C-alpha cells in the first residue's frame, strides 16, 4: 500500500500537556511518526511518498477562515503578549457565558477556539498541521486516481478538530479535508469510519447536517471518556444528515468480540450507505497497553481490523489519528495495513 509521509509533520514538538492536573510531556509526539515509519520500512509495507503542498484552499473547504487565521498567528501573538509557556486555554465561553463574541486578546481567543486544555499551541504547530493535511490529501488523491488503498501518516491527528475548534491534539480535520476533496473530485457519497478510541467529535460536527458523508465512530463511552460531550448513540445527524451519523459508544475494558461486533455493524451500514470511498480515521489507541485509553485490542486484533476494513470492498484511504503506546505503535499500524492487503 502506498504510504504518504512528510518530515514537516515533526515541526510540532510541544513541551506541555495538561494531563490529570499536571503539565506533562505530550503523549502526541513526533516520535510516533518516526517509529511507525521505521516499522513500515522494515517490513517493506509499501513505497513511501512525500505529498505535494496543496495550500489552504482545501482547509478552507472545512474550517472557518477566522479559525485558520487564529491558528496561523496564535504562537506569534502569544509570545508577543509576553507569555512564558506554551499557549494553553484556561477560559471558555462555557454554558453561563456569552459564546457569540470573539474576544480581541489572544488569551480570550484561545478559549474561544479551544475545546480542551490538553492541547498547547507552540512554534511549528501550524506548519505541522499544514503538512498533516497535505499527507491526507496526497493519500486520498492517490486512491481517487487509482482506486488503490493508501495510508496517510498524518500527525498531528485531526478527528477532534471541528469547523472552528482545536483540541484533543488536533488542529485541522484531516479526514474531513480528504472527504471534501473526494466530493469535489466527483464522488457522490463518502464514508468516514473512525476507529480511534476517542469519539471523532470534530468530524461528526463538520458533517452532522449533511447526507453526502456518512460518519461512523466506535469509541469509549463519552459519559466516562474524553471528549465527554459528544459521541452518544442518540447522535444520529440532523436535517438532511439524519441517519448519516452512527455512534457506537462502548464501556472501558469492553471485550474485543463486542468491539468487533460494532465494527461489523458499522461496516455493514457503510456498505448500505452508498458510499463510493471509505476514509478510515485510524487510531490505534484502542491497544490494550495504551497509556490514556481503556480498550483491549491486541497486536493480532489490529491485523483482523485491517482484514475487515478491506472486506468492505471500497476504495480506501487510511489516515493516522491517535495511538500513544509508542513502543508498540509501529507494530499496531503495520498490523492493520498488512491485514488490509492480505
Ligand atoms: C487524537 C486523539 O487520540 N486525541 C486524544 C486526546 C485525549 N486527550 C485527553 C486525554 C484525557 C485522558 N484521561 C485519562 C485519564 C487517565 N488517568
Ligand atoms: Zn484517540
What CATH number does the domain containing 35 carry? 3.40.800.20
Is 157 touching ligand 1 by the criterion CB < 6 Å? yes
Q: Does residue 331 form part of some domain?
A: yes
Is 159 one of the catalytic residues? no
Is 21 touching ligand 1 by the criterion CB < 6 Å? no
Predicted local confidence at residue 214, as pLDDT: 99
Provide the domain count of the chain.
Answer: 1
Residue-number span of the structural domain to which 180 is assigned: 2-13+27-52+124-340
Q: Does residue 71 form part of some domain?
A: no
Query: Which residues have a Cβ under 8 Å from the Cβ of 297 and sit 6 or more positions away?
Result: 256, 259, 284, 286, 287, 288, 305, 332
Nearest CA to 218 among 237, 238, 199? 199
- Please list the residues that pair with 220 across neighbouring strands: 250
Q: Does residue 88 form part of some domain?
A: no
What is the ipTM for the molecules in this complex?
0.97
Tell me how crowded residue 103 is: count the other CB atoms within 10 A of its CB.
14
Is 339 touching ligand 1 by the criterion CB < 6 Å? no
pLDDT tens digits, one per residue of 283-304: 999 999 999 999 999 999 999 9
Residue nearest to atom 15 of ligand 1 (CA): 292
Query: Which residues have a Cβ under 8 Å from the Cβ of 330 and sit 6 or more positions away?
Result: 35, 36, 37, 38, 39, 40
Q: Are 307 and 16 in contact (CB under 8 A)?
A: no
- Please list the residues that pair with 318 across neighbouring strands: 151, 280
Instruction: Choose the residue to mutate in 27, 226, 227, 325 for probing ligand 1, maximizing ligand atoms within 8 Å of C-beta.
Output: 226
Q: Does residue 41 form part of some domain?
A: yes
Residue 227, preceding bond cis, omega within 30 degrees? yes
Predicted local confidence at residue 18, as pLDDT: 98
Predicted local confidence at residue 342, as pLDDT: 84
Predicted local confidence at residue 14, as pLDDT: 98
pTM of the model: 0.99
Angstrom distance (rounded) from CA 45 to CA 164: 36
Cell numbers that stand for 58 in this block: 482545501
Is 285 touching ligand 1 by the criterion CB < 6 Å? yes
Q: Does residue 70 form part of some domain?
A: no
Query: Which residues have a Cβ under 8 Å from the Cβ of 110 and sit 6 or more positions away?
Result: 74, 78, 87, 88, 89, 90, 121
Cell numbers that stand for 104 in this block: 480581541
How far apart are the two ends of the chain, measured CA to CA in Å? 11
- Counting ligands in written order, which one lies closest to the CA of residue 170? 1
The residue ranges of the chain whose pLDDT is under 70 are: none
Amino acid at each position: 500500500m502506498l504510504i504518504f509521509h512528510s518530515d514537516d509533520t515533526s515541526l510540532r514538538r510541544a513541551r506541555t500537556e495538561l494531563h490529570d492536573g499536571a503539565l506533562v510531556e505530550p503523549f502526541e509526539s513526533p516520535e510516533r511518526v518516526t517509529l511507525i515509519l521505521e516499522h513500515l520500512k522494515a517490513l517493506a509495507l509499501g513505497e513511501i511518498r512525500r505529498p505535494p503542498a496543496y495550500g489552504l484552499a482545501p482547509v478552507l473547504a472545512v474550517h472557518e477562515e477566522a479559525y485558520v487565521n487564529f491558528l496561523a498567528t496564535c504562537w506569534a501573538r502569544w509570545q508577543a503578549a509576553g507569555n512564558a509557556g506554551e499557549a494553553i486555554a484556561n477560559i471558555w465561553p462555557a454554558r453561563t457565558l456569552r459564546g457569540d463574541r470573539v474576544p480581541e486578546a489572544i488569551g480570550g481567543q484561545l478559549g474561544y477556539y479551544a475545546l480542551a486544555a490538553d492541547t498547547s499551541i507552540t512554534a511549528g504547530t501550524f506548519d505541522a498541521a499544514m503538512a498533516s493535511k497535505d499527507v491526507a490529501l496526497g493519500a486520498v488523491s492517490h486512491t481517487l486516481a487509482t482506486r488503490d488503498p493508501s495510508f496517510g501518516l498524518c500527525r498531528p491527528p485531526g478527528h477532534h478538530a471541528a469547523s472552528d475548534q482545536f483540541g484533543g491534539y488536533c488542529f485541522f480535520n484531516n479526514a474531513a479535508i480528504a472527504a471534501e476533496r473526494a466530493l469535489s473530485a466527483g464522488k457522490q457519497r463518502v464514508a468516514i469510519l473512525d476507529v480511534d478510541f476517542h469519539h471523532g467529535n470534530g468530524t461528526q460536527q463538520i458533517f452532522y447536517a449533511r447526507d453526502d458523508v456518512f460518519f461512523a465512530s466506535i469509541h469509549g463511552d463519552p459519559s466516562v471518556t474524553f471528549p465527554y460531550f459528544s459521541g452518544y448513540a442518540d447522535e444520529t445527524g440532523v436535517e438532511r444528515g439524519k441517519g448519516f451519523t452512527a455512534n457506537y459508544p462502548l464501556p472501558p475494558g469492553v471485550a474485543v468480540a463486542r468491539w468487533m461486533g460494532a465494527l461489523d455493524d458499522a461496516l455493514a451500514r457503510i456498505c448500505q450507505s452508498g458510499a463510493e470511498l471509505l476514509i478510515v480515521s485510524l487510531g490505534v489507541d484502542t491497544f490494550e497497553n495504551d497509556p490514556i485509553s481503556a480498550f483491549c485490542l491486541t497486536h493480532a486484533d489490529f491485523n483482523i481490523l485491517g482484514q475487515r476494513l478491506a472486506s468492505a470492498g471500497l476504495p480506501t484511504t487510511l489516515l493516522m489519528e491517535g495511538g500513544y503506546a509508542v513502543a508498540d505503535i509501529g507494530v499496531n499500524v503495520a498490523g492493520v495495513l498488512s491485514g488490509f492487503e492480505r
